[in-house]
Amino acid sequence: MTSVDARLRVRYAETDQMGIVYYANYLVWMEVGRVEYCRASGVRYRDMEARDGVRLAVVEAACRYHSPALYDEEVIVRTWIEEANPRMIRFAYEMTEASGGRRLATGETKHVFCGLDGKARKLPEKYRSSFGMS
């Protein structure tokens, strides 16, 4: 799978007094994109956690802001896997304004697969192809 698009609309609560999206909300939107990517690839994160005790711990997050997102704009969060192996996965994101394609932000998150005890572990074999691993 190359990428997955998720759409959302900027809510008033996500903005400051100028109607511009508060910077931390982009990290929340990356999570929306990541969950939709997993779902589109056949993995429900909730099930992976409950059935197999696998969690994705964020160990790095970065976001570069290009243009402000504004109240009531529709945003597309494009998500793809930049790098993956049985111990970690790096997702990349591009957020654009839907009607004109204006680039809002780009970013990435790096995750380590962990057990319910919080200790690093390898991703079970049955999930690897869904995350682009052979």
| Rounded average pLDDT over 32-44 | 94
Please, which residues bridge with residue 91 across strands? Answer: 81, 109
3 state SS for 97-109: ECCCCCEEEEEEE
The residue-averaged pLDDT of 116-126 equals 95
pLDDT at residue 34 greater than cutoff 90: yes
Strands 74-85 and 55-65: unpaired
Rounded to an integer, the average pLDDT of 20-34 is 97
**Which whole number is the average pLDDT over 99-120?**
97
Looking at 5, 16, 47, 52, which residue is catalytic? 16
How many domains does the chain fold into? 1
Full domain range(s) for residue 9: 4-131
Distance CA 134, CA 126 (A): 11
CATH number, domain with residue 92: 3.10.129.10
Model confidence at 1, in pLDDT bands (50, 70, 90)?
Answer: low
Closest CA to 59 of 88, 95, 28, 27: 88
Q: What percent of the chain has pLDDT over 90?
A: 92
Residue 134: pLDDT band with limits 50, 70, 90? confident
52 in catalytic set: no
pLDDT tens-digit map of 71-89:
999 999 999 999 999 999 9
**What pTM does this model have?**
0.94
